[in-house]
Amino acid sequence: MPEDEQIELAYRYGYVADCNDQAARLFDRDSASQLIGARLEAVAPRGDPEQIERLRAGFRVGWKNSHVERTLRGRTLLMTRDGLVENGKAYGAWLTARDITELKASEAEVRRLNTELEARVEELTELKGRLEQDNAYLLEEI
């Protein structure tokens, strides 16, 4: 079945069957009970081109254990997706979201510090070279 038809069916029939309160809060609900039963559109807006591409990617790999990063409400989430596929048809998917916002911020800080460290090492190497030249000159003068 073409991807566009698969996506249309996902939006027509897909819904949130289960979630916890923390997941519900990511989607502006106070509790899980307010999100359970909501259509796919509530958690995966059709107007979001990145979301459509994530769905396409899921269909391409047959919803086998895949991981994607998604930014939602200023938080970076690592989404693990496992699909329920029988006879080539997707019947559902189990998604787990892990908030990796702090991990990503720490990763960026480590990259920044490494860049700064590389610059300092380069500066020290240059200073060491000058010091060796000055030392050689002074020894020659003595």
Return the CATH number at 79: 3.30.450.20
Q: Are residues 29 and 87 in the same domain?
A: yes
Tokens (6 digits) for 132? 């060796």
Q: Which domain holds residue 83?
A: 3-99
Q: Give residue 73's pLDDT.
A: 82
Q: Are residues 94 and 27 in the same domain?
A: yes
Tally the domains of the chain. 2
Q: How much is the average pLDDT of 26-47? A: 91
Q: Name the residue with tokens 């027509």.
A: 12
Q: Give residue 84's pLDDT.
A: 79
Q: Give residue 71's pLDDT.
A: 87
pLDDT at 6 over 80: yes
Of the spans 1-5, 36-40, 67-71, 79-83, which averages the highest pLDDT? 36-40
Q: Are residues 139 and 69 in the same domain?
A: no
Q: Are residues 7 and 55 in the same domain?
A: yes
Q: Are residues 105 and 133 in the same domain?
A: yes
- Cβ-contact 39, 27 below 8 angstroms: no
Q: Are residues 66 and 77 in the same domain?
A: yes
Q: What is the reported pTM?
A: 0.62
Q: How much is the average pLDDT of 110-135? A: 97
Helices (H), the chain: 3-13, 21-26, 32-35, 49-60, 101-141
Q: Are residues 95 and 109 in the same domain?
A: no
Distance CA 119, CA 17 (A): 52
Q: Cβ neighbours of residue 59 under 8 Å, at least 6 residues apart? A: 3, 6, 7, 90
Instruction: Work out the pLDDT band at 126, boundaries 50, 70, 90.
Output: very high
Q: How much is the average pLDDT of 20-27? A: 89
Distance CA 131, CA 107 (A): 36
Q: Are residues 87 and 109 in the same domain?
A: no
Q: Are residues 86 and 128 in the same domain?
A: no
Q: Are residues 92 and 108 in the same domain?
A: no
pLDDT at 106 over 90: yes
Q: Are residues 79 and 108 in the same domain?
A: no
